Amino acid sequence: MPELQRLDVHHAPALLRFEQENRAYFARSVPDRGDDYFAEFAARLAKLLAEQATGECHFHLLVDDDGTVLGRFNLVDVAEGSAELGYRVAERATRRGVAQDGVGRVCDLAREEYGLRRLVASAALANPASLAVLRRTGFVPVGEVRLSGQPGLRHVRDLTLLPSPADIRWRSSQA
């Protein structure tokens, strides 16, 4: 079973491989990171880890038994009990519940480990799979947004509420 791990420097090779192998796939639904992202990967990772050390961000990887990164699940702009959730899943891991599993686990961590009360996430209308994951994990649409010039929906999840039906289904599927 894949393990959700907090981002650490030892993840660098597997994370870089994940980003490189999925670059074209990700670019179909979100703006490409550009060549500089890969050329400066080590420095960018160091910066992320420094931000994580301050508590302003929490970065996680869903890692398969063989060490392969299946997805990234990030909580950024942590402030006043709230954070923005972002995630991406490897193309080879799509349609297997990996995104829903990772989002569910990160929501639990956000509430139980980081003391957050509210998460915000956005997805492009052109990405129905991501919109479905957000809804299945208890996020509620609250308004329209523009994401890199494309229409999208902003969602909110109140982590102080009792578990949603989506949480119950997710947890029972993990048993």
Nearest-angstrom CA–CA distance, 56 and 99: 23
pLDDT of res. 112? 94
Structure tokens belonging to residue 171 = 């947890």
Average pLDDT of the residues of the chain:
91
Partner residues linked to 132 by β-bridges: none
Question: Which pLDDT tens digit goes with each residue over 26-75?
Answer: 888 777 888 999 999 999 999 999 999 999 999 999 999 999 999 999 99
pLDDT digits (tens, 9 = 90+) for 89-142: 999 998 889 999 999 999 999 999 999 999 999 999 988 999 999 999 999 999
**CA-to-CA distance for 99 and 170, rounded, in angstroms?**
12
pLDDT score of 27:
85
pTM for the complete prediction?
A: 0.88
Q: Which domains does the chain have, with CATH numbers?
A: 3-174 (3.40.630.30)
Q: Which tens digit of pLDDT belongs to each residue from 158-173?
A: 999 856 545 555 455 5
Q: Strands 118-124, 82-89: parallel, antiparallel or unpaired by DSSP? A: parallel
| Distance separating alpha carbons of residues 106 and 116, to the nearest angstrom | 11
